[in-house]
Structures are given as structure tokens and as C-alpha cells.
Amino acid sequence: MELHQLDVKLNSRRGQRVRQCRRRAAVIKFTAIALTLLTVSALVRWGYRQAFYENSEFRLNRLVVQSDGVLSEADVAIAAGIEMGMNLMTIDLKDVRRRLNNLPMVVSAEVSRELPDLVEIKIEERQPLAWLSCPEQGVIPKNESRGFLIDQNGEFFRCEKLLQRYLDLPIIETYEMPMPAEGSLVQATPVKEAIRLILESDRMFGSDGLLITEVRIRNAYSLTCTYNTLMQVVFSMKDLDRGLQDLRWIVTHAHSAGQQLATVNVMPKKNIPVTFY
């Protein structure tokens, strides 16, 4: 019985040594594999950095800017925070897109890169509908430093460059409104109605060459509009659609009679006052 117990103890010690050896072998094997993977990973990162980030071939040598407005390639590069010669892979495209989209005159921007040396930027700029004039706030139309443009959605933005096509835009003049901020939206109802009047009038008469040059807001109930024929028309602010329909009928009949309209007041629904040159 005692001999049998001794054999068990001997076998138990031998088994423990075997298990310990196996554990050491497993640890050594795991460590070797881990070190190998870390080494390979480091080599891959080093190789990637050498191939792209520290490769002189991947430098920005070509910047292509497509814009439908006034922003030049230099303007876009400054706003985007990129310079010629930068490593192409260090340019954060999302950050460039965010910077450009934050510009008040930009509606949307698309940015892409193409190895080895190209960044392409496509910009849709905000298209102005009219100038704002507000003498009491010192807002002067057709002026780069003190002027504000308005788009069809009623958003204010500064004029970056005074192009000829901007000089031909109509003016909305008002005397009572807060000082506008670039990128803000029109809040004053009379100015909103003036924007709508320009849009609807252009849709109705634009193909005939009859265009608004100025809309004056003198009170809370009417808009005084001057056209490029020097015709002046007074609209009811609460009845623009009916006023435009009446004006179309009057313009058509005056043209048929060979008469040039001087003033029209379409605020009344009947007995509309009209004068001729």
C-alpha cells in the first residue's frame, strides 16, 4: 500500500514538471509571435510613412478650383488653409470642406485628391438676387466694404468682388431694420416681400426684358418698384400676386397701344391709376 502511494507521488511530480515545461514553451511561443507581429507592424508603418508622408513625389503641385462665382484659386487656397508644396497625405479633406462650407458666400464644396500631386475643389457659390440699401445702418449698395448682397432665400453676404453683373442687380431699400450680419437671414417681413416681388416679377416679365431695378420700402403696407423702363409701380404688400396679374394686363394693353407707362398703382382692385410718358 505504501509502495503504491510512493509511485503516485513520483508520477505527480513528473507530471508537474512536464506541465511547467509546456507552459514555459507556450509563453515563449506567444512572446515570439507577439514580437514578430509588433516588428512587422512597425515596419509596415515605417514603410507607409516613407512611401507616402515623406515621399517628395506626393507634394501638392496642382490645385484645380472650379467655382461658379467670384472666388479665385488664391481665395480658395487661403480659406482652405492649404499651400502649394504641402504633403498631399497630410491635407485633411474633411477640414478643408468644413472651412469652405463655413464661408457665407459658399453653398457647398466638394474636395478630392488624386495621387501623386493633385487636389481638386468644386464650389457652388451663393448667387445674389439683389443689393440691400439701409441708409440708417450705413449699408450702401454696390459697395464692397459697406454693401450686403441678398440671395433668393434671404441670406445676407458680403460682396467679395464688384463684378459688372453685380452692378446690374436690383436694390432693395429700407429704412427700418437691424444691422444685418453676414450669413444671417432676413427677418423683416417687408424685405421678404420685396425679395418675393423681384422673383415673381422676373418670372412673369423677365423674358420680355422688363426687369426691376429698385424696390423701395417706405411703409408697412406698400412697395414702390422701379423697372428698367423707368416705369414706377406701387404694390400692396399683402396682395402682390393680384397686383402682378393686374400689371401684366396693363403692360400688355399699353404695349398693344404703343404707349409707354410712367406710373401704375395696382394697390386698388378697381380703377387702377395709370400715367404715360
How far, in Å, CA of 230 to CA of 262, rounded? Answer: 7
Query: How far, in whole angstroms, is CA 230 from its chain's centroid?
Result: 36
Predicted local confidence at residue 41, as pLDDT: 67
Prior bond to 273 cis, omega within 30? no
Domains, the chain, in order of start with CATH, read 62-125 (3.10.20.310), 128-276 (3.40.50.11690)
Q: How confident is the model over 9-64, as pLDDT tens digits?
A: 545 666 677 677 777 777 777 776 777 777 666 655 655 555 555 567 789 999 99
User: How high is the mean pLDDT of the chain?
Assistant: 88
How far, in Å, CA of 77 to CA of 52, rounded? Answer: 22
How far, in Å, CA of 266 to CA of 245, rounded? Answer: 9
Q: Which of 207, 198, 208 is CA-nearest to residue 170?
A: 198
Predicted local confidence at residue 58, as pLDDT: 83
How far, in Å, CA of 249 to CA of 20, rounded? Answer: 104
Strand duo 118-125 + 222-227: pairing:
unpaired
22-31, 61-70, 95-104, 166-175, range with the lowest pLDDT: 22-31
What backbone phi and psi angles, to 5 degrees, belong to 160?
-75, -40
37-46, 118-127, 245-254, range with the lowest pLDDT: 37-46
Joined together, the cell numbers standing for residue 94 give 474633411
Q: Is the pLDDT of residue 6 over 80?
A: no
Predicted local confidence at residue 147, as pLDDT: 94
Mean pLDDT of 210-237: 97
More confident of the two residues 237 and 55: 237
Residue carrying the nine cell digits 449698395: 141
Contact between 93 and 112 under an 8 Å Cβ cutoff? The reply is: yes
Q: How confident is the model over 173-197, as pLDDT tens digits?
A: 999 899 999 999 999 999 999 999 9
Predicted local confidence at residue 51, as pLDDT: 53
How far, in Å, CA of 128 to CA of 159, rounded? Answer: 9
Mean pLDDT of 68-87: 92
More confident of the two residues 114 and 41: 114
Query: How far, in whole angstroms, is CA 45 from its chain's centroid?
Result: 37
User: 61-70, 71-80, 238-247: which has the highest mean pLDDT?
Assistant: 238-247
Strand duo 128-133 + 212-216: pairing:
unpaired
Strand duo 171-173 + 148-151: pairing:
unpaired
Query: What number of residues does the chain have?
Result: 277
39-43, 165-169, 246-250, range with the lowest pLDDT: 39-43
How far, in Å, CA of 122 to CA of 109, rounded? Answer: 6
Mean pLDDT of 65-69: 92
How far, in Å, CA of 200 to CA of 214, rounded? Answer: 14
Contact between 106 and 87 under an 8 Å Cβ cutoff? The reply is: no
